[in-house]
Amino acid sequence: MIATEQLDLSLINGYLEALDIAIIQQMLDLYIQQSALYLAAINTAIVAEDQKAWQEHCHKMKGSAASAGLSQVHQKLVAIEKMTENWQVKVTHLHVLTQLNQQAIEVFRQWLAKQ
């Protein structure tokens, strides 16, 4: 996966101009921790079949992904945040979201390593 597909490089390059690389690494580390919590909360919402919790946690993760510059993760969350499909469909979306998130984190790490 190439960085331009996964990352909002204009945003991240803007961060690089304003911030030390170590700060950007800390931002990514914080996102990794938060996204794990969001994904767990989204899964809990599925188990509880709680539409309000689904939307709330997708919304929070959507903002976090946008701030971190993970554009594909953000786009996926935009697409699924307000969906009302059955819970099995949401399980599938959660699996895709989890994979996208891992891929984006890895691409971001690779990008950081080149800076």
CATH assignment of the domain containing 83: 1.20.120.160
Residue 71's pLDDT is 96
Mean pLDDT on 73-77 = 98
Question: What is the signed CA dihedral for 111, 61, 101, 52, rounded to 10 degrees?
Answer: -170
Check if the beta carbon of residue 46 is closer than 8 Å to that of residue 91. Answer: yes
**How is residue 21 written in tokens?**
């690389």
Number of domains in the chain: 1
Host domain of residue 51 = 3-113
Residue 56's pLDDT is 98
Nearest residue to 9 (alpha-carbon basis) of 69, 72, 77: 69
Q: What whole-number distance in Å separates Cα of residue 68 and Cα of residue 40? A: 19
Q: What whole-number distance in Å separates Cα of residue 1 and Cα of residue 44? A: 29
Provide the 8-state DSSP code for 3.
H
Asked whether residue 1 carries a pLDDT value surpassing 90, the answer given is no
Q: What is the pLDDT of residues 79-106, one digit of tens each?
A: 999 999 999 999 999 999 999 999 999 9
Residue 2's pLDDT is 64
Q: What is the pLDDT of residues 2-53, one digit of tens each?
A: 677 899 999 999 999 999 999 999 999 999 999 999 999 999 999 999 999 9
pTM metric for this prediction: 0.93
Residue 61's pLDDT is 98
Nearest residue to 114 (alpha-carbon basis) of 5, 43, 16: 16
